[in-house]
Every structure is written in structure tokens, then in C-alpha cells.
Amino acid sequence: MYATSSISLSVLSPQTWPFGLQWLPQPAYLVGGVVRDALLGRHADYLDLDFVMPEKAVETAQAIAHHHKAGFVLLDAERQIARVVFEQATADFAQQMGSSLEIDLQRRDFTVNAIAYNPHTEELIDPLEGFVDLKQSSIRMVASENLREDPLRLLRAYRQAAQLGFSLDAETRAVIRQFSPYLSQVAAERIQSELNYLFGSVQGTPWLTAAWQDGLLQAWFPQATAQSLAQIAAIDRSAISLVAACPSFKAELYASLRHTTKASRKGTKNSSSATGNKSANSNSGVEAGAAKAKLAGDHRTWITVAKLASLLSPDLAQAEVELLTLKYSRAEIQAALTIIKFLPQLQAVSVTAGLSCREQYFLFQSVGPVFPALMVRALAVGVPISVLLGLIERFLTPDDPVAHPMPLVSGQDLMTHLKLAAGPQIGQLLAEIQLARAEGLITTPANALELAAKMTKL
Ligand SMILES: Nc1ccn([C@@H]2O[C@H](COP(=O)(O)OP(=O)(O)OP(=O)(O)O)[C@@H](O)[C@H]2O)c(=O)n1
Ligand SMILES: [Mg+2]
């Protein structure tokens, strides 16, 4: 135990919390990432407070939530863990595991995450010498049994190494390799959220590759090869090249998909009983997790979907099974499958001939909003940038008749003017009108009606 005078821990001060110190019983400790990050001088983009206390954890959370009109979620009744969700912060309150704080810390994942701070006395408690590992930028397990107890920690090691810019202690890595088959026992939602972080940044890529090399991804992506991982690195480079060639495409590539998904990095159902491995047992818990993931910058973009698609089987049915197993949302599954389905068409394009107007029209129609993900994946697998830039220009032009056709006439117009009955023929005529427009053959509604009249007489 040592006093904090030599280190600036102002970020841990109750002044930064959304509630006052008087709400906490004595003793109570801050633990986990917030302490680690404060010691590193690392400012997370949002406040994620984890408290442990020998008793009254849930009552404390309840009282704080009630007084501050914040959200309250009982994450685990048995282990007495509750979450209070504020607008700009989340605070978890857990009953200490075991009869002392030291025992609780000994049951955690990595030494750098097993440092506690007592806000009442302003002291750090570091029995596992996590501070030494922090200074050496090293992720070191507390004990191999702890990794066995909650195998998600195997993958967390790579995610946290990526996030912190740390290395993985050699002995820890050897244990992870040995335990890698146990990762298949972990709830898919928890795996997914770690993966999303690894997909979400350039720094994640080498660690994703390391995780694959160490056998952590095989159970979830049985078809992934060294080449798949190389393609993920190529996606990082391709995104840079596309933005350099076409700066206005950046906003499209990095558009957030989070509104389309409810998967969360914490608070999803699981059966593990490890310390700090908080699990929600209600839907509101999932919501709380999602809210937190959103605050934490769980950035799902078209680039992350393109990376995900790189690891999947090229067989659509098989890829869908892999995505469903990982509990990806409908929207993400649709997006990843669209990439897999249309990539071969782009790979087959000859640079000289390019895609015909008609082919482009159908490509835009079929791919829809997934287009940016398909472009970055296509460039990563070697489709010439010249082929892609033409398509991107169309995509970025709001009134482009090929990428964004506006109907010249409606189905109703056709029925009224040509005295046709409703039926599949109307849809076919509308498609032909759009195509003729895309090819520059017609420009006005009158032209469209003429064309349709001609076609019905054929
Ligand atoms: N599977 C897990 C999850 C969490 N923890 C412990 O619970 C703390 C808080 O967990 P969490 O907030 O998920 O992670 P952080 O380490 O705080 O990292 P982040 O910056 O991602 O919040 C961790 O530091 C660690 O002590 C653990 O031992 N095993
Ligand atoms: Mg945390």
C-alpha cells in the first residue's frame, strides 16, 4: 500500500464522479480500468467507474440511482453487482469477492487491472505489483487458474494490449495458447464485443492476428486463414488509400452502425462466475450494456463490417451460421453477407472494360448502404482502385441516375396512362425505365411512358 502523493490521481477524485464520496460506505474501493488508466495518465473518452466494497454494494447503487434519478440495473443478484447508468458515466458496484480486498484482487484477470484505490484515504492498494507491469507496459495474468475460470480473459488480453499499446507477457501468452480451446465455452455476446473492439481500430489488427495465431479465433471463424488476417491489415491500408483518393468518402466509410445493433460489450448473459465478470440477467441489463458500449466508443463502421467479412467462410450459408453463432445483429449479418456475395463480381471486372451501366445499376440496387464496406474490402483483395473510384464517384453524387435513381414515373402512373392492371409486369417496366434512364436513353416522364407503352406492345 502506498500513498498517492507522487502520482497525479486527480482523475480518480470524487470530484470527477457524478455523485459524492459521502454516498460510499467505508471501506469502498475503485478498481479495474479506471485506476489503471489514471495511473497511465490515460483519459478514457467516458467515465467507467468500478467499485468494490465488503457489503451493501447493491443498496449503495440503489440509493445513488434513486437520489440522482439515474438508471439502475441489478446485474447479478447472487454476486451482488449493480450498475448505475448516468448520462455521461456508468458506475458498477460489486460486493468484494472473498473475505478481503486482497482476495478480491487476486481473483481478477491481469495485474494491471488488479490495483485498487481507496477514495476515503486516497491510497493505492497494489498487492500484485500491477504498477510494475504498468510501467513496463505489460499485460500479465494474475494466475493461470483465473484465465481458466473465465476464458473470455484470454481474448481480453489481446484487446487490452491493443487498447493500451502494451505487450503480452511471454508466460501469460504461453498459458493463453494452451487454454485457447476454452474460449469456445464463452457466451458469444461477450466474444463479439471483444472482437468489435479489435475490428474497430488499426491498433487492433496486429492483436487480432496474434489472437488467430494463438488459436483463439478458430472456434468462431473456422475458415479464417493467415490470408484472411493479411486482408484485414490490407483493409486498414485500403481505407487510408480510398480516403486519400476521395476525401469525401471518409464520412461514408466511418459512418457509425451502432444504431443498427443492440449487442453490448458488457451486461450480456453468461454463466461464468469469475470476479468482475459481470453478467446481466435481464433485458434492461443488455440495454445498460449497450448504452455503456455506446459511450465507450464501440465504433462499428463499414470498415469493421468489412474486416468481419474477411474472417468468414466464402460460402454464404456457412458465413451466416458463423454470424448467427456470434449473435451479430440482423443488419450486420445482412451487411457481411452482401460483401461476400458481391465481392466476386468486382474481382472479375476487367480494368479496361469496367462494369457496364446496367451492371453498375444492379450492383448499387443490390448492395445499397453496404457499398462503402464492399469498396474497402474489394481494394484490400486487389480490385484496382481505378475501377472502384468510378463507382464511388457515382455513389457520392446524390442525383446520379445509376447509383441513386429517382423514379421518373410511379407504378400508379403506368397503370393509369397505359391502362394496365397491378402485377409483376409493373415492377419490370419500372426497372426497365430506370435502366434506360441510367443509360441516358430517356430523361423525362413522357419518355418513360412512351418506352413503357412500346414495351407492353412487344
Ligand atoms: N472478464 C473479466 C472482466 C473484468 N475483470 C475485472 O473487472 C475490472 C473491470 O472490468 P471492465 O470494466 O470490463 O474492464 P476494464 O479493465 O475496466 O477495461 P475497460 O477500459 O475496457 O473498461 C477489470 O479491470 C478486471 O479487474 C476480470 O477480472 N475479468
Ligand atoms: Mg472498466
Domain residue ranges in the chain = 137-215, 221-261+298-404, 411-456
Beta bridge partners of 93: 51, 82
59 contacts 303 by C-beta, under 8 angstroms: no
Torsion of CA 360, 366, 369, 370, to 10 degrees: -90
The ligand whose atoms approach the alpha carbon of 150 most closely is 1
341-345 long-range contacts (CB < 8 A, ≥24 apart) are: 341/316, 342/366, 342/367, 342/374, 343/374, 343/377, 343/378, 343/381
Closest ligand 1 atom to residue 146 Cα is: 28
**Distance between Cα 34 and ligand 1 center (Å):** 9
Q: What is the tens place of the pLDDT at every residue in 394-440?
A: 999 999 999 999 889 999 999 999 999 999 999 999 999 999 998 88
User: Which residue type occupies 246?
Assistant: C
Instruction: State the sign of the Cα–Cα–Cα–Cα dihedral 241, 244, 246, 248.
Output: positive
Distance in Å from the first CA to the final CA of the chain: 90
Instruction: Give me Rg for the CA atoms of the chain.
Output: 27
Closest ligand 1 atom to residue 265 Cα is: 13
What residues have CB less than 8 Å from 377, skipping those under 6 apart?
231, 235, 238, 306, 309, 310, 339, 343
pLDDT in tens, the chain (458 residues): 544 444 557 778 899 999 999 999 999 999 999 999 999 998 877 899 999 999 999 999 999 999 999 999 999 999 999 999 999 899 999 999 999 999 999 999 999 999 999 999 999 999 999 999 999 999 999 999 999 999 999 999 999 999 999 999 999 999 999 999 999 999 999 999 999 999 999 999 999 999 999 999 999 999 999 999 999 999 999 999 999 999 999 999 999 886 443 333 333 333 343 444 444 333 344 444 544 554 444 679 999 999 999 999 999 999 999 999 999 999 999 999 999 999 999 999 887 778 999 999 999 999 999 999 999 999 999 999 999 999 999 999 999 999 999 889 999 999 999 999 999 999 999 999 999 998 889 999 999 999 999 999 87
Q: Taking CB atoms and a 6 Å cutoff, what residues make up the pocket around ligand 1?
A: 31-33, 48, 50, 108-109, 113-114, 150, 152-153, 156, 266, 274-277
Is residue 351 within a helix (H) or strand (E), and if so which, with residue range? none
Find the DSSP H helices in 204-329: 204-213, 226-245, 250-253, 283-295, 302-311, 316-325
Say what the pLDDT of residue 457 is: 84
* Percentage above 90 pLDDT, the chain: 81
DSSP helix/strand/coil, 325: helix
Q: Is the pTM of this model over 0.90?
A: no
| Atom 6 of ligand 1, nearest CA residue | 276
Record: fold of 137-215:
Hydrophobic Seed Protein (1.10.110)
| Atom 8 of ligand 1, nearest CA residue | 32
Say what the pLDDT of residue 12 is: 86
Strand 29-31 and strand 47-53: the pairing is antiparallel
What residues have CB less than 8 Å from 408, skipping those under 6 apart?
433, 434, 437, 442, 444, 445, 447, 448
DSSP helix/strand/coil, 76: strand
* Percentage above 70 pLDDT, the chain: 89
Instruction: State the sign of the Cα–Cα–Cα–Cα dihedral 57, 59, 62, 63.
Output: negative
Say what the pLDDT of residue 261 is: 38
Cα–Cα distance, 159 to 167 (Å, whole number): 11
Other C-beta atoms closer than 10 Å to the C-beta of 437 total: 22
**Distance between Cα 201 and ligand 2 center (Å):** 19
Q: C-alpha grid cell for residue 414?
A: 403506368
Length of the chain: 458
Q: What is the tens place of the pLDDT at every residue in 335-359?
A: 999 999 999 999 998 877 789 999 9
**Helix pair 152-164, 188-199: axis angle to 10 deg:** 20
Scan for cell 475503485, then name that residue. Answer: 30
- Least Cα distance to 279 among 445, 288, 36 occurs for 288
Is residue 177 within a helix (H) or strand (E), and if so which, with residue range? helix 170-179
